[in-house]
Amino acid sequence: MIRFRLAEVLKAKGWTPYRLSLMTGLSAPTTYRLADPKMEFGRFTVDTLDRICGALEIQPGDLLEHVPDRRSAPR
């Protein structure tokens, strides 16, 4: 499974999801949802990832972490 680390990155930079919304043009509900570490979401576009990385001046790898899922691990 892929873990989206946006909440950690925002905290480290001293940003709120609202500020990210203003800087990216994404809606506030979207940025709050993406920043909620408990929220599960299916997908988002490359455009969204590009906007977030551009605003925060980070690379996609700073946001994404692969966490092995025991259920889907090869046997």
> What mean pLDDT comes out for the span 10-30?
97
Please list, in sequence order, all residues whose beta carbon lies within 8 angstroms of the beta carbon of residue 65, skipping any fewer than 6 positions away: 2, 3, 5
Q: Give domain status of residue 18, yes or no.
A: yes
Q: Give domain status of residue 25, yes or no.
A: yes
Higher-confidence residue: 21 or 66?
Answer: 21
Predicted pLDDT at 44: 82
CATH number (domain holding residue 51) = 1.10.260.40
Q: Give domain status of residue 58, yes or no.
A: yes
Domain of residue 38 covers: 2-67
Q: Give domain status of residue 72, yes or no.
A: no
Domain count, the chain: 1
Q: Give domain status of residue 6, yes or no.
A: yes
pTM of the model: 0.85
Q: How confident is the model at residue 17 (pLDDT cuts 50, 70, 90)?
A: very high
Q: Tell me if 67 sits within 8 A of 3, measured CB to CB.
A: yes
Q: Measured between alpha carbons, how far is 32 from 69 in angstroms, rounded to an integer?
A: 25
Q: Give domain status of residue 75, yes or no.
A: no
> What mean pLDDT comes out for the span 24-35?
95
Note the pLDDT tens digit of each residue in 35-58. Answer: 998 877 678 899 999 999 999 999
> What mean pLDDT comes out for the span 14-19?
98
